[in-house]
Structure 1
Amino acid sequence: MKNPTPAQVKVRDHESLSLLLVAPAGCGKTEALAIRIASLIENGQIASPQRILATTFTNKAKDNIQNRLRDYVTYSARRDHVTVMNYHGLAARLVRAHGAIIGVDPTIQLPESDWVTDRCLELGLGYAGRDTVNVILNELKRQPLDDAAIAAALAENGHPWAIQIEEERVAANRSTYDDLLRYAELILANDAVASLYRCHFGAIIVDEYQDLTPQQLRVLQRLGAGNITFAGDLAQGIYGFTGARPHEIDATIRPLCDEVIMFNESHRSSPAVLSMVNAMSTLTGGENLVCADPESWPGSGLAGRLTFPHAVKEAEWVSKAAQTILAGVPNHRVAVTSRIKSRLRFIDQHLEDTGIEMHRWEDGVLDTETAAIVRSTLTRLNLADLDAAHDKLTFLRDVAGIAQVEEPDTRKSLADALNWILERLGDGLSPAEVAGRIRVGDQTTLLNAPGIHLLSGHVGKGQQFDWVFILGAEDDNIPFFRATTSAEVEEEARILGVMLSRARHGVVVTHSEVVPTVSGSNRNRDRSRFWPYLDAARPRDREGIVEWVKVAPWNSLRDK
């Protein structure tokens, strides 16, 4: 257990149950929430039979806060007083217990994958068709509409595939992730149900409030009133494509909170890394961060920025730089990241060709049981039969025997793995090559493994790495070419800020003048419009980076 900082003590001792904590990455937010939960239990503000509900967006985030709680709250207190759930888990609980109130079968099939996307691809709609159907259904289902109202709205819209897919879903008594939250909002519109849960949950802790959709906030407000602690940072709001509205949510909740507590002291990153993060603050709206203990960072950290003539040359240099770092600090984790996954294909190919071990986050890690089923499936898979199948995913699920898997977690893990197999086969890999990418363990294996990690900017949110190389600082990549409005470009700036803030010791941003298209034709690329903003950090050029690495105190770095 660490001694809390003065800012964390302020959060702990805040008497009201209503609070907004604004805490940028690396400033001790999760620790502060754990300390606050412990205090609410210890001082008797939350006593049996009431519980504290802590909400997260992902299982990773749920595991993270649960791990921190273990340092401050005893097992018996956690068991008796704390519930940690993601939003879909919370919604599923409401549907199972009270679905009948709104005419939904409580035994409705819960989602185990992105069924709408899977169905679009099975129907041969392609990626553009998939995106259109998803946009139509997502926008409708973020509103408090029952199934009949959804059907009426779709009929008015007139898109035939969206209508067909929704009719198939209803006929199969199936729910999607969007349906769960929609049903939860409709259920909580019943005052008796809402009152029941308000009595049950005496306090609510909301992590990463900037990622809330208006629908999720409406659900939370029905669960609690005047007893919610919101925590997060507008500068990390990068999920607009999921329906998140950071500024709208912030404007709604600030008047509801009795106090706003601001954190700006970073315990994660070196002064050099923080200079890069701060350089983006005028675009991201984030707080300027200060290093909590600048003298503790060997060499004050590294910040660099480079341009290469070609993406292949970029890949070669980054690969060599990462290997040089790992030679000095083999226990460190080096992230190679980009706004979009496809921009990493050059470094991926170079590492593959040179036999350098890497961790592809898109591949993930499978548990032992799921890995055994997947390997057996790939061994038995006949590609000709798969290609001939009208519904490729169903064919693959039949080969794997998913219907015979009864354990829920294994079934979901296998469903995700089969989608991953189909994607990799679609990329042109053979079954044997896909099998070669399988790694066995748990998520901790990936989170803690030293070495080189390849991942996209969104996947890296919530993680930290010792060193970060951000590839592809080019317009059309960051900001992404589909970002056309000022709000969308602002979110792209926040994505770059999030990638920068993943780094502990050092961060290097790169741009290539020529980046081949997926088809192989060379295309000239301009530097990102965000590139000049990094001037304020005075990042090192190639010679400066090499000089820093030559004199770096590797023994001290290894222990930090």
Structure 2
Amino acid sequence: MTGVTAATPPPGSSGPSGFPGFPAVPDSADAVLDGLDPEQRAVATTLHGPVCVLAGAGTGKTRAITHRIAYGVRAGVFQPSTVLAVTFTHRAAGEMRGRLRGLGAGGVQARTFHSAALRQLQYFWPRAVGGEVPRLLDRKVKLVSEAAGRSRISLNGHELRDVTSEIEWAKVTQTTPDDYPAAIAKAGRDAPRDPAQTSRIYATYEQLKQDRGAIDFEDVLLLTVGILQDRPDIAETVRRQYQHFVVDEYQDVSPLQQRLLELWLGDRESLCVVGDASQTIYSFTGATPDHLLNFRARHPEATVVKLVRDYRSSPQVVQLANGLLDQAKGRAAESRLQLISQRPAGPEPEFREHQDEPAEAAATARRIQQLMAPVEQGGGGVPASEIAVLYRANSQSESYEAALAEAGVPYQLKGAERFFERAEIRQAALALRGAARAGSGNDRALAGAEGLAAEVGAVLATTGWTPEPPAGSGAARDRWESLAALVRLAEDLGRARPGADLAAFVAELDERANAQHAPTVEGVTLTSLHTAKGLEWDAVFLVGLTDGMLPITHAKTPEQVEEERRLLYVGVTRAREHLTLSWSLARAPGGRASRRPSRFLEGLR
């Protein structure tokens, strides 16, 4: 960061201690507090009673809570072995352990909910139940598939993943198979298939697991909860071991995880939670910000500390992020934090309107080239690894993969396969290639774009594609979007080359795929807004910001629309300095300019 040496990281710095260029282990408890801002220091020094840290994006929340644990250990208030810090990913837990070691607080347990529960389950199972601990399923999809077969319900691969996700949601919300149909109706959840069928598959899946002595990841939490509820002696043993708790990303806690936390705590209140309701973007998995929002109601004597000094983003980016939340509605919006940037001024965020999607992708690639060019050549001098293109749906990646490849800009995909390497695209390409070799037998009464697109659609129908999208937002919808992108590509080719047939279309696909088969290199990141959570870059491009994509079409209730707004907020707050928000009026060149910019941009431009 400007004006700060590597040896003295700023209060919001996220670099791990113990690496070259970072400070040595502090020599005293007071030295642990050096470099913290007043609010971070308040978190670190409030060691007793319930503590709720409301931490905005980029405000150094991990720094605050790791320094709190380290200060408590170094001051003799906490014994390292009695502290359990819980977060949501193994990466975050590993980073927390590394920081704690660097602060002289090795020995503190930093784990995910699942790994902490699994250790307890394995330890107490012989005493609580007897015999061997049931086998943990690596993946539940195979057993769900068998359960569907026994229920005489046919599922393709994507439908299978969607039903599996529904079972996971049911279990983390503590919903039984019989209660599932009523529960999704009450939650306003858009079921990917008939709830009664999912309920049957869920019940059969649970029976198969029981018959085979197996458990899944959700069972790890459920069984640990069951043992702690039914065996007060075991619950007391756990409470003697762990006396102080810290929970990161508390807005993402599910009802089942909250129940486990309550059992760990018992009647004690040595709990520190940290979160930001404005970054709740995983409610479809069962996460809810209610536990964070209701913390003061459950703990009236709690100390609440707000972290609002943003060390990540420029004042211009922060102003846009604040403006976006100013329009928000609902409970999460009532607790929104007004961030205050601590960084030097940067460029104003750019809003770019384009005629069509290819033009948007090409313009994005050109702007990235400018940012990557050396400063002495008039560029921005931004490394490719410090640039990201973020989109709502993985199906949007193909245009940007192609545009960056055409511009010679290296890129990497996070959280998704490259477009032409996705299973459904490979399957579609095989079907199209076979149809082209055989001759379609279709005289194509419709010429040009409509005819070629209809022909491609007919071939894709043999792989299970339909002109209308499936309900919900799961794997089946992702697969549909990918195949729909092929139909749109056929429309584009038919419009540009009216005589194009299936063989020409297959050749076009091969050419596009080959152009993107360069070796994977360190480059510009392409990823979805969901996957970008927890990451940051110098320059961020938020693309495809049209109504229907953000908020996405299947966000129907006010709560679902507000979660889409929070998703955009997460995207905006990933940027340190350069931020571009763009959209296109039409899908393809020459198409009808019927799209509207995302409603979330109103009043911000």
CA distance in 2, matches of 1:230, 1:100: 32
Find out whether 1:171 has 2:203 as its counterpart. Answer: no
Q: Which moved more, 1:118-127 or 1:273-282?
A: 118-127
Tell me which residue corresponds to 1:180. Answer: 220
After superposition, the Cα gap between the structure-2 partners of 1:203 and 1:26, relative to the gap in structure 1 and judged at 3 Å, is: same
Alpha-carbon distance, 1:269 to partner: 0.6
Larger radius of gyration: 2
Q: Distance in 1 between matches of 2:58 and 2:143?
A: 35
Match 1:513 to one of 585, 595, 599: 585
2:136 corresponds in structure 1 to 110
**Contact 2:366 / 2:407 at 8 angstroms: preserved in 1?**
no
Name the residue aligned to 2:347: 301
SS, match of residue 511 in structure 1? strand
The 5-angstrom pairing of residues 141-160 of structure 1 reads: 141-142=171-172, 150=176, 159=197, 160=200
**Correspondence 1:498 to 2:498:** no
Partner Cα distance (1:472, 1:127) in 2: 28
Alpha carbons 2:252, 2:288 under 8 Å: kept: yes
Q: Deviation per CA, 1:435-476, whole angstroms, max 9, x where unpaired?
A: 968869xxxxxxxx5x31001011110111111000111112
Going from structure 1 to structure 2, the CA distance change for 1:513 and 1:471 (only over 3 Å counts) comes to same
State the Cα distance separating 1:196 from its structure 2 match.
1.4
Choose which of 89, 92, 104 in structure 1 pairs with 2:115.
89
- Residue 307 of structure 1 aligns to a residue whose secondary structure is strand
Name which of structure 1's ranges 87-96 and 314-323 shifts more when overlaid on structure 2.
87-96
Q: Aligned-pair distance for 1:516?
A: 5.7
Q: Residue in 2 aligned with 1:71?
A: 102
Q: Structure 1 residue 293: deviation in Å? A: 3.9
Matched, 1:229 2:272: yes
SS where residue 578 of structure 2 aligns?
strand
Please give the alpha-carbon distance, in whole angstroms, between the structure 1 residues aligned to 2:404 and 2:259.
Answer: 47
Q: 1:318 to 1:184 in 2, by over 3 A?
A: same
| Number of the residue aligned with 2:282 | 239
Contact 1:56–1:85 at 8 Å: present in 2 too? yes
User: Do structure 1's residue 126 and structure 2's residue 141 form an aligned pair?
Assistant: no
TM-score normalized by the length of structure 1: 0.73
Query: Which runs of structure 2 are paired with 1:258-273 in the superposition (5 Å)?
Result: 258-273=302-317
Alpha-carbon displacement from aligned partner over 1:476-515 (angstroms, at most 9, x marks no partner) = 2111212111111111111100000000011111111122
Q: CA deviation at 1:3?
A: 1.1
Structure ranking higher in helix proportion: 1
2:76 aligned with 1:44: yes
Given the alignment, which residue of 510, 517, 528 partners 2:598? 528
Name the CA shift for 1:347/1:170 in 2 (closer, same or farther; >3 Å): same
CA contact (8 A) 2:245 2:272 kept: yes
What amino acid is the match of 1:226? E
Pairing partner for 1:61 from 60, 77, 92: 92
Q: 3-state DSSP class of the match of 2:224? A: helix
Q: Supply the AA of the counterpart residue of 1:3.
A: G
For structure 2, the residue ranges without an aligned partner over 5 or more in a row are 1-22, 24-33, 183-194, 374-379, 419-429, 432-474, 487-508
Q: Matched residue of 1:513: which SS?
A: strand
Q: What residue in structure 2 maps to residue 289 of structure 1?
A: 339
Write out per-residue CA displacement over residues 171-213 of structure 1, whole angstroms, 9 at most, x where no aligned residue.
3333222222222221221322222111111211100111111
Instruction: State the identity %.
Output: 25
Equivalent AA in structure 1 for residue 239 of structure 2: R
Pairwise CA distance, 1:136: 4.9
* Cα distance in 1 between the residues matched to 2:567 and 2:262: 28
| Secondary structure at the counterpart of residue 302 of structure 1 | coil
Give the Cα separation in 2 of the matches to 1:67 and 1:236: 25
Structure 1 residues 143 and 45, CA, compared in 2 at 3 Å: closer, same or farther?
A: same
Q: What SS is found at the alignment partner of 2:353?
A: strand
Residue in structure 2 matched with residue 389 of structure 1 by the alignment: none
Q: Which moved more, 1:150-159 or 1:107-116?
A: 150-159
Alignment match, 2:186 = none
**1:137 maps to which residue?**
167
Question: Which amino acid letter does the alignment assign opposite residue 278 of structure 1?
Answer: N
CA distance in 1, matches of 2:515, 2:225: 41
Between 120-129 and 305-314, the greater mean CA deviation after superposition: 120-129
RCO higher in 1 or 2 (8 Å CA, sep ≥ 6)?
1
SS at match of 2:214: coil
Q: Indicate which of 309, 312, 318 corresponds to 2:364.
A: 318
> Residue 70 and residue 331 in structure 1: after superposition, are their counterparts in 2 closer, same or farther (change >3 A)?
farther
CA distance in 2: counterparts of 1:104 and 1:253, whole angstroms? 40
Q: Hey, what's the Cα distance between the residues in 2 that align with 1:174 and 1:199?
A: 30
Report the number of matched residues. Answer: 455
- 1:541 alignment partner in structure 2: none
Structure 1 counterpart of 2:397, from 344, 362, 367 = 344
5+ long unaligned stretches in structure 1: 366-382, 385-418, 441-448, 536-560
Task: Report the equivalent of 1:195.
Answer: 236
Corresponding position: 1:217 with 2:286 = no
d(CA) in 2 for partners of 1:487, 1:359: 33
TM-score (norm 2): 0.67
Render the CA deviation track for 1:292-323: whole Å, top value 9, x for unaligned: 243xx4xx233111111101000000011111
Preserved contact between residue 283 and residue 490 of structure 1 (Cα < 8 Å): no
> Are the counterparts in 1 of residues 416 and 527 from structure 2 also a CA contact under 8 Å?
no
